[in-house]
Structure 1
Amino acid sequence: MNAKRLSISLVGIILLLCLGAGARAESPTKSSAPPDRVRNFKFTYHADIPVSNPAAKKFEAWIPLPREDAFQQIRDLKIETPVHFEIVDQGSNGNRIAHLEAIAPLPTSVPVTMSFSTIRREEAANMIAAARDLPEPTDRHFAVYLEPNRLVPLTGRIAQVSANLAETDVTPLQQAFVDYEYVTSIMKYDKSGTGWGRGDALYACDVRRGNCTDFHSLFIGLARARGIPARFTIGFPIGSAKSGDVPGYHCWAEFYSGGVWVPVDASEASKHRDRHDYYFGHLDAARVAFTMGRDLVLKPPQKGEPLNYLIYPYAEIDGAAVPQKEIKTKFSYADTGA
């Protein structure tokens, strides 16, 4: 692989190429403009959830809400639906949902439209702080970021690859960069065939293609296998035009080093090679974040198994999950200026 080392100097962090860039088989895709530093936009999230059983007695749905943090401010949140709903804090990772509920007689479908205005700012890690070689955190708050997920095992193949990539006498930041180099060098953004999109780290490791969930599941697995806390966030991309429809979700990762969280967008780095180094430590503002974490048990709890991730609506009728492919969704945005 193309291993890159990080070294610390008085002027900051310098990336040193130990080997050439020959392992990157694809030609760089040039971005038409610099990364967005700030975006102001209105986002609309619409879903129509079918009730296929007219004799059903109970309907429930869980709709993810946009998160609020240092990089994303939400205002004028509005939810329109003909059934009762309440906003429920999920108690971890800043996640919130709108919980919809109805009892018989049920309609043939339940529409829900959520809209909100957003100020999204570029996320840029303090790389000087991240380069510090501090002991790994022992606080129980970090335990979830070091544990395996159902589709992100930390043993077997993932452990083997992680061990092969392991460097000696390096900081977590340096090791994470080696992992990032590996993922962006071997993987191709390719949504053909089947198996992609589940965030299956073993699939990504062996097949070496997929979408953003696959890229970041592999990165998170490699980091956690080395004792580096890492976490997963999912939301939506925002296009470069002033307004438009959003075809689907986007996700990214963060790892913990030197007492700070460092963002990584490996799939965007793969698609835009001229931003390869930028996406290690930065996230552009052309996105909106919704939910953090995997294997989610919701509040109130769903009857089904833990959710792989939550970005599209999850619904149950009499305790049985509504197939995702039956739920119609539409997402759009419109810039609102400064």
Structure 2
Amino acid sequence: MVRWHAHWLWLVVLAGGGWVAWEHHGSASASSPRLPVTSEREVTCVYLARVNHLPPEARALDIWIPLAKSAAEQRILQRDVRAPIPYTVAQEPDYGNEILHATLEPPIPEHLEITIEYRAQLIGADAARAEAPPTPEELHRHLEASGLVIIDEEVRARARRATAGQLTPLAQARGLYDHVRGSMAYDKTVPGWGRGDTRRACRLGTGNCTDFHSLFISMARAQSLPARFKIGVVIPQERPSGVIAGYHCWAEFYVNGRGWMPVDASEAWKHPELADYYFGARDPNRFLISVGRDLRLVPRQQGEPVNIFFAPYVEVDGQPFLDVGVEVRFEDLKQGRAA
């Protein structure tokens, strides 16, 4: 059901620039080699979105923003939206993401700011919520190539080599994970990183978390192992509050009888001593924003499917508009770590 809301603007200061350049640089918790010492944390997380330099001659603006929801790794205890315009909230059909949508007509403001504040419990492995088993249609979706997550002969050959001699889905997934860690380097010096382009990952062997996990998902699907993409942020352990450096993403694969199992190959590349942990660990420092790639939004956007849905997606007069900024702040309410 679509719900209508109307609130007033909460003024915030945001970093400018497009979202593509705003990504995970390694927050304190992600870059630290020590393991989490708690199975649950309670935090506030404030997602600040801004659309900049809107053209005054625009006739219509549409904005879609991903809304975090309760999932296996988190419970959303409270969600408050502050916006200067009416908006709707709906669920997209493919991955179940909740989406805020708003439409503006003239006069179009030069800038637009929307704030979403969450209070959430982040859940570790021993307290993770059980998920309903995926439907056959959902599993089929997680086996198909999609957009930049391709399945070609190069991907199939890599997947065969990585899983040679592995007889169970779990062992095959570990072979794929180890292949990604061994064949990729976390390197953002070559343009094109961060789009989750499997072909580029195969060709260059470099990129960020998005590229690592696109390669993993492509190879998993080539081996008939359902796999999906998740994106959000990592909440630092070492400080009680502040700005989070950028997004982070991970992948999950599905095994009958065990459900969805997470992998974080890019963090394992940075910290090889934690490779066993990042294969299967439901890290209580992750805050999930959205699931999936190539999303059809609600209402449907006029442009192509959205490759990665972390920052707002905006269309001006039916054309994608890229001058958007995002900042995420957090506060640890329980200081959920050992003294």
TM-score, length basis structure 1: 0.83
Of all paired residues, the percent bearing the same amino acid is 38
Instruction: State the aligned residue count.
Output: 298
The answer to whether the aligner puts 1:78 opposite 2:75 as a matched pair is: no
SS of 2:232's partner is strand
Given that residues 36 and 286 in structure 1 are in contact (C-alpha distance below 8 angstroms), is that contact kept between their aligned partners in structure 2?
A: no
Question: Helix, strand or coil for the counterpart of 2:296?
Answer: coil
> What displacement does 1:32 show?
3.9
Structure 1 residue 257, shift from structure 2 partner? 1.4
Tell me which residue corresponds to 1:40.
Answer: 42
Cα pair distance change 1:30/1:244, threshold 3 Å:
closer
**1:17-36 alignment, distance < 5 Å:** 31-34=33-36, 36=38
Q: Displacement, 1:208?
A: 1.5
Matched letter for residue 230 of structure 2? T
Task: Kindly indicate whether the alpha-carbon contact (under 8 Å) linking 1:180 and 1:219 is maintained by their aligned counterparts in 2.
Answer: yes
| Cα shift at 1:123 | 3.6
Unaligned runs of 5+ in 2: 1-30, 129-133
Classify the secondary structure of the residue corresponding to 1:328: strand
- RMSD between superposed Cα atoms in Å: 2.0
Out of 193, 209, 219, the residue aligned to residue 216 of structure 2 is 219
Structure having greater relative contact order (Cα 8 Å, sep ≥ 6)? 2
Distance 1:78 1:193, change over 3 A: same
What's the counterpart of residue 246 of structure 1?
244
| TM-aligned CA deviation for residue 70 of structure 1 | 3.0
**What is the CA-CA distance between 1:55 and the residue it aligns to?**
1.8
- Deviation, structure 1 residue 124: 6.3
Q: 1:170 and 2:198 equivalent?
A: no
Give me the whole-angstrom Cα distance separating, in 2, the residues matched to 1:163 and 1:124.
33
1:5 alignment partner in structure 2: none
Contact residue 230 and residue 290 of structure 2 kept, 8 A? yes
**Whole-angstrom distance in 1 between the partners of 2:127 and 2:43:** 24
Alpha-carbon distance between aligned partners in 1 of 2:59 and 2:215, rounded to the nearest angstrom: 41
Among 96, 113, 118, the residue aligned to 1:94: 96
Answer 1 or 2: which has greater strand percent: 1
CA apart distance, 1:186: 2.0
Q: Which of the pair has more CA radius of gyration?
A: 1
The 5 A counterparts of 1:118-137 are 118-123=120-125
Q: Which residue of 2 aligns with 1:255?
A: 253
Change (3 A) 1:255 1:172: same
Q: Structure 1: which 5+ runs fail to align?
A: 1-28, 127-136
TM-score by length of 2: 0.83
| Equivalent in the alignment of 2:275 | 276
* CA distance 1:35–1:102, shift in 2 (3 Å): same
CA contact (8 A) 2:81 2:117 kept: yes
SS of structure 2 residue aligned to 1:278: helix
Alpha-carbon distance between aligned partners in 1 of 2:295 and 2:188, rounded to the nearest angstrom: 25
